[in-house]
């Protein structure tokens, strides 16, 4: 508080110590928080989408590699997709020897469906083997393998991460795959 003299009378001017926020400051703060939250949610959604896209791309690349190798190179090639610890791996074998390996990552799950619609989740005890026909490029066999042997299945691989999924269907006649 301070005082000043003007003429004869004593005028007391008080400075008020304002301890609160103004309405404008509160509105600006809330708007900034909304913008930051929106940006963070967008980035999180983009990261989740990228993970399923990368998983799909890696499976697609491994399918292309084994089909091309089978049709253009000497030897017997096949693809095996299996869970190894926490990660999924796609391994290409040439004459039963590891030829190339793709790290599919540890996100999501990979499932296949047989001709009856039964679902098989890929794990360390259950995996997929796929071999293409050397002359036509079509599917020679597509099997779900486990400790009890082989189960014939159709050519459908479903990749899942959170609530997103991608389906890769492989044509039995041509061996080409399509991502839905």
Q: What is the pLDDT of residues 135-161, one digit of tens each?
A: 888 888 888 887 565 555 557 888 888
| Helix and strand counts by DSSP (H, E) for the chain | 1, 13
Distance CA 144, CA 128 (A): 5
Radius of gyration of the chain (CA): 31
Across the chain, what does the average pLDDT equal? 83
Q: What is the DSSP letter of 138?
A: S
Question: What local confidence, expressed as pLDDT, does residue 10 receive?
Answer: 52
Provide the pairing of β-strand 97-105 with 177-179. Answer: unpaired
pLDDT of residue 71: 92
What pLDDT score was predicted for residue 45? 85
Alpha carbon distance, N-terminus to C-terminus of the chain? 75
How do residues 83-102 score in pLDDT, each as one tens digit? 988 899 999 999 999 999 98
159-169: b (≥16 Cβ within 10 Å) or e: bbbeeeebebe
């Amino acid at each position: 508080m301070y005082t000043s003299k003007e003429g004869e009378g004593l005028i007391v001017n008080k400075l008020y110590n304002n301890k609160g926020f103004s309405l404008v400051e509160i509105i600006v703060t809330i708007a900034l928080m909304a913008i930051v939250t929106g940006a963070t949610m967008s980035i999180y959604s983009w990261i989740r989408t990228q993970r399923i896209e990368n998983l799909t791309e890696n499976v697609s690349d491994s399918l292309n590699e084994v089909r091309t190798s089978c049709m253009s190179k000497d030897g017997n090639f096949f693809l095996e997709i299996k869970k190894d610890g926490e990660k999924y791996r796609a391994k290409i074998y040439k004459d039963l020897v590891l030829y190339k390996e793709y790290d599919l990552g540890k996100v999501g799950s990979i499932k296949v469906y047989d001709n009856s619609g039964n679902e098989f989740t890929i794990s360390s005890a259950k995996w997929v083997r796929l071999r293409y026909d050397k002359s036509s490029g079509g599917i020679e066999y597509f099997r779900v393998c486990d400790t009890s042997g082989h189960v014939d299945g159709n050519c459908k691989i479903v990749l899942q991460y959170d609530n997103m999924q991608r389906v890769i269907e492989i044509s039995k006649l041509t061996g080409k795959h399509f991502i839905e």
